[in-house]
């Protein structure tokens, strides 16, 4: 009879340990929000194309997201090898970041040099039924690689106190819809 209780206590301790570890994450400061920025050039958004995911028709866009380090020091930040849907947020509920099949998603550190930028293309999807223009911002969880954040796993991606947001953009949707 003691074994089920011991197992329950063990499980609770493991959960408590991971929750305590995740809560030690260092939040961004007010100056961090000015020093590290996300910018989207609406003129460089890829032309939309159609795709089907799990028998649903979607419109796919590749959004050029420019991440800037406006400081005089290198920025070491933590990202995931392929779990972009975990690190990025969208302000428009009709758009989504597609989940890519991945068998090795883990955190790793990237260095962004001082006064430098890095541009990556974030895929976003929208159900094909929608027509018209839509606006949105893209947010990125910024986990600065320091002693407090280095051993965080899983990353606390649902906490919004470390998200930097892009400028708002308007995404032109195709004028015609398919059935």
More confident residue, 162 or 165: 165
pLDDT tens, residue by residue, 78-94: 887 777 777 888 988 88
Burial tier of 31 (Cβ tally within 10 Å: 0-12, 13-18, 19+): exposed
**Number of domain units in the chain:** 1
Burial tier of 13 (Cβ tally within 10 Å: 0-12, 13-18, 19+): exposed
Domain contains 107: yes
Domain interval for residue 122 = 27-172
Q: For the whole model, what pTM was predicted? A: 0.73
Question: The domain that contains 71 carries what CATH number?
Answer: 2.60.40
Q: How many CA atoms lie within 13 A of 104 on its CB side?
A: 1
Structure tokens, 93: 């509920």
pLDDT tens, residue by residue, 30-78: 778 888 999 998 888 877 767 766 677 778 888 999 999 999 999 998 8
Q: Where are the beta strands (DSSP E) in 54-93?
A: 56-69, 75-80, 88-90
Domain contains 179: no
């Amino acid at each position: 009879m003691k074994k089920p209780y011991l197992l329950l206590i063990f499980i609770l301790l493991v959960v408590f340990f991971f929750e305590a570890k995740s809560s030690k994450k260092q939040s961004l400061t007010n100056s961090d929000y000015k020093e590290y920025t996300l910018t989207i050039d609406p003129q460089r958004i890829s032309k939309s194309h159609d795709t089907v995911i799990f028998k649903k028709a979607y419109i796919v866009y590749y959004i050029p997201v420019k991440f800037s380090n406006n400081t005089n020091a290198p920025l070491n930040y933590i990202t995931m090898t392929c779990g972009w849907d975990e690190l990025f947020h969208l302000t428009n509920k009709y758009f989504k970041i597609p989940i890519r099949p991945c068998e090795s998603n883990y955190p790793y550190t990237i260095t962004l040099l001082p006064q430098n930028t890095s541009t990556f293309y974030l895929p976003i999807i929208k159900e094909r039924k929608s027509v018209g223009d839509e606006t949105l911002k893209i947010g990125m969880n910024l986990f600065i690689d320091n002693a407090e954040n280095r051993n965080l796993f899983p990353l606390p991606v649902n906490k919004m106190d470390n998200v930097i947001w892009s400028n708002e953009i308007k995404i032109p949707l195709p004028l015609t819809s398919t059935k």
